[in-house]
Amino acid sequence: MSHTIHWLEIDAQPHTYKLPLEKTALVMIDMQRDFIQPGGFGAALGNDVGRLADTVKVARQLLDWCRAQGMLIAHTREAHAADLSDCPPAKLNRGSPALKIGDAGPMGRILVDGEAGSDFVPELVPLPGELEIVKPGKGAFYATELGSLLQQSGVTHLLFAGVTTEVCVQTTMREANDRGYECLLVEDATESYFPEFKQATLAMIRSQGGIVGWTAPLSALQGARENVHG
Ligand code: C5J
């Protein structure tokens, strides 16, 4: 039985990124209310969460494109158990003492699984059959089933999007690169509270010949060339 692989060639930096459609997954990182809407963790840390609004629209377009290609899709949420047993002091003791992880905020307890703030923004709710990974750390491979689920699916290439670029997105992309995945970050489907950190992250990823991976805008994916021979 022959399993044809359909390859797409994408104009990316530092050079063309070739992805095998049947072996590529999208990893959408932490597009949840706690980071994107007022009253959540991002805002409690003193950030302007309004900076992330445009990225929600592009991330949704990317999601639609990946769904149309029939790709495996994994959505992550950063959230802790109600008793915070999976939140070490090194993480808990971050941010304003007035509103830390586990404290009650306007969207429920900050970064606690099951609370309104820990849920996805409405535009980016997973569809049935898509993977939902709840992660206690910044990297989505740490203390989750993501690695084994991707392995079972035969995935070799990963597209990344989500927030925030230099924290959970970059950490996960580096974890993925160490695990052997060929990674591309979709430039306009990721955002940071700090524009200079986003630009620095994109530059770091694709520097030195793509030391962590590739970057490209969504339009480059939408304009990809198909090549069945790879
Ligand atoms: C942060 C994340 N910024 N999802 N988490 O603490 O990037």
* Residue 168 Cβ < 6 Å to ligand 1: yes
Report CA Rg, the chain. Answer: 17
pLDDT on residue 99? 82
From the CA of 164, how far away is ligand 1's center (Å)? 5
Nearest to 156 by CA among 51, 72, 226: 72
Share of the chain above pLDDT 90, in %: 92
From the CA of 230, how far away is ligand 1's center (Å)? 36
Catalytic residue (choose from 135, 138, 183, 198): 135
Q: For this structure, is 168 an active site residue? A: yes
- Tokens read off for 131: 């993977």
pLDDT on residue 230? 59
Under the banding of pLDDT at 50, 70 and 90, the label for residue 94 is confident
Index of the ligand 1 atom closest to the CA of residue 42: 3
Average pLDDT over every residue of 48-67 = 97
- In three-state secondary structure terms, 227 is strand
DSSP category for residue 152: H
Under the banding of pLDDT at 50, 70 and 90, the label for residue 2 is low
Index of the ligand 1 atom closest to the CA of residue 162: 4
Average pLDDT over every residue of 65-69 = 98
pLDDT on residue 97? 58
Torsions phi, psi for 29 (to 5 deg): -95, 120
pLDDT at 98 over 70: no
pLDDT on residue 95? 66
Average pLDDT over every residue of 120-126 = 98
Q: For this structure, is 23 an active site residue? A: no
Index of the ligand 1 atom closest to the CA of residue 30: 4
d(CA 46, CA 32): 17
Catalytic residue (choose from 66, 87, 168, 183): 168
End-to-end Cα distance, the chain: 19
Q: For this structure, is 135 an active site residue? A: yes
Question: For a pocket test of ligand 1, which of 166, 167, 193 has the largest count of ligand atoms closer than 8 A to its C-beta?
Answer: 167
* Residue 78 Cβ < 6 Å to ligand 1: yes
Index of the ligand 1 atom closest to the CA of residue 171: 7
pLDDT on residue 93? 87
